[in-house]
Structure 1
Amino acid sequence: MTCDFTLIDRKEFVLLLDSLCSRLTLLNARRGGEPSRLKIAHYLSAKEGKWVDNDNVANLSECDKKLFSEMIIGYQPGKGNHLVPVLIPKDCVRGLDILCDQDVRKNVQVLETNDFLFPHTSLSHDHVGGWTCINKMCLNAKLLHPEKLTASKQRHRISTLYSALQAPESEKQYFYKHMGHSKDVNLGTYQYPQPIMEVIKVGRHLQDIDKGLIYCILRHSFKIKSYSNRVCSACNKLILSKSTSES
């Protein structure tokens, strides 16, 4: 990838687009067609922090505040009047900025009136498909069984891992709402606005799964003896094996 956005060719643009669309789809445990329908305006409103009240963030614990330095939150229209939250890791922002750059888009033949964040090239009006992006990335990585990594299977995997955490009922509503499985929730009962709670209650767990720390947390929770020294984001401490801690 070059430093000068305008020098990015179509092949690089498509690879970057496939990577980022796959990342957001899998991280958020979304159906294949959801993040791929994001529009530039949805991303920019997230980047500008329009959904988050900084005064509320300032009142959070240091551990919770750290999440807001690592991810941003945006929303996109879902079925009916439902807004679908999308958590965006900060390590994706640079790449997403490139996808938004009008000079870059023009250079790779993205239609000027195509306002999708993940557009087709060749002057198309449409956006890419999330499952297609994931499958292409699996093939690029030369996975032996690329068909086993799909948006639907990732949703099942994350739901299974989350259920193993045995989170309190008061937290589960946020996860189920993120996954689109919950009944209507009375937003007036939240201590903080919904975007804040989305990051704290859902973003933390999705980030742990994304980084592989979920297994550390589960072992820590169930007091299994054999696991490596890791930093557990659940308690923000170095977790030692039982034999080490007892020595």
Structure 2
Amino acid sequence: MNPLPSLFAGAVFGLALAAPPGPMNAVIAEESVTNGWLAGVRAGLGAMTADAVFLIGSLLGVVAFVDRFPTVRAAMVGVGGLLMCYFAYGAALDALDEASLVPSGAADGTADRAATGFRKAFVLALTNPYQVLFWLTIGVGLLRPGTLDVLSYTPYVGADLAGLLVVRTGSPALIVGFFAGIGVWITGFPATLRAAQRRVAAFAPVVSGVSALVLAGFGVLFLVDAVRTLL
């Protein structure tokens, strides 16, 4: 069987899921404009590494275990909400520093900052209930024989794209393509932001400010969800 169609479909699937706005892209964007392209890529790798952990965990039944116990899930979501609010505060401070032209020290310790971005995105992704739900339902099915309507799961516009790209699951090439698609996004997105930043002087504080709002919004939603589950 020719693996190329599955590889291509997996890449489209990974790219479609990685591209829409959300907390992970907010972290990648803030790291990119504040600490450089490498920091943005490393943040993306942190989120992608969490996906790999979820893939293994779903195959071993760990993700299903988390979903089976509401208290465990609520604790995980609550931690994620607190972390997002904390990182939103940091992004807001970065936006203020950039807007007032206060040096952020990004030129010093670039490698350390990039590593921090990786850890930040990795921890946030591990406590992201959307990613847990994805691997509990759709993700674990990628290696099981069946079919997958790839574009129907695209956030926000999936209903309009349903039926356009239906592929057979059960092929390792689909998983390889999936992570390749994510890889394209986490390298291309920071590069695009850095290119725009070189052309627009006020670009960095705007991106940091929007990232702070996105992280704060999702953080509050996660905290509310955790409280409701515990009550």
TM-score band, normalised by the shorter chain? 0.3 to 0.5
Structure with larger RCO (C-alpha < 8 A, sep 6+): 2
Please give the TM-score of this superposition, normalised by the length of structure 2: 0.34
Larger Rg: 1
Greater percentage in strand: 1
Point out the structure with the larger helix share: 2
